[in-house]
Amino acid sequence: MVSQHLLLTFIFLIPAVLGTRFHFSGNLICPLPVFNYRVEMHEEDTFKEVDDKIGETDWMVSRRPNTYDVIGNDTDDGADILQEFEIYMLIIHDCNPSRNVKSLKVDWGTYNIYLATVDKTMDVQIYDRGTHI
């Protein structure tokens, strides 16, 4: 009986301690031959002023194909009673006619905190999208 209790404890405790690894990739759709971008991955926190940044890329100079690849890791969702990660990306880029830097928020969905790995691909239209920063 004790060994079953320990086994169940480890089954539910280990994923929470190790966290969830998020891997998102895809194409940035932009008609410009060259543009600059960086990607930040965040976990939204309802009860905190600032969301947790869980992954990011360096500034990149993109030439076709315009691909992105970002990895993040999170171990705790704070006070969320639903025990879910709410993940979004900020794509900071200058893919627009005036070449001003913009930030585009892209929602990646909600995931149970006990998942070990989330691996998804999405193409994102960024041309002249987002807010000026």
Return the higher-pLDDT residue of 10 and 118: 118
How many domains is the chain built from? 1
Which residues does residue 71 pair with via DSSP β-bridges, in sequence order?
23
Residue span of the structural domain in which 77 resides: 2-132
pLDDT exceeds 60 at position 18: yes
CATH assignment at residue 56: 2.60.40.3330
Could you tell me how far CA 18 lies from the centroid of its own chain?
17
Confidence bin at 76 (pLDDT 50/70/90)? confident
pLDDT exceeds 70 at position 5: no
Distance between CA atoms of residues 95 and 120, nearest Å: 23
Which residues lie below 8 Å from residue 7, measured CB to CB, with a gap of 6+?
none
Could you tell me how far CA 83 lies from the centroid of its own chain?
17
pLDDT exceeds 80 at position 115: yes
Confidence bin at 80 (pLDDT 50/70/90)? low
pLDDT exceeds 50 at position 20: yes
Please compute the mean of the pLDDT values over residues 99-120 and round it to a whole number: 95
13-22, 35-44, 109-118: which range is least confident on average? 13-22
At residue 131, what are phi and psi to the nearest 5 degrees? -105, 145
pLDDT digits (tens, 9 = 90+) for 27-63: 999 999 999 999 999 999 877 778 899 999 999 999 8
Rounded mean pLDDT of the chain?
Answer: 87
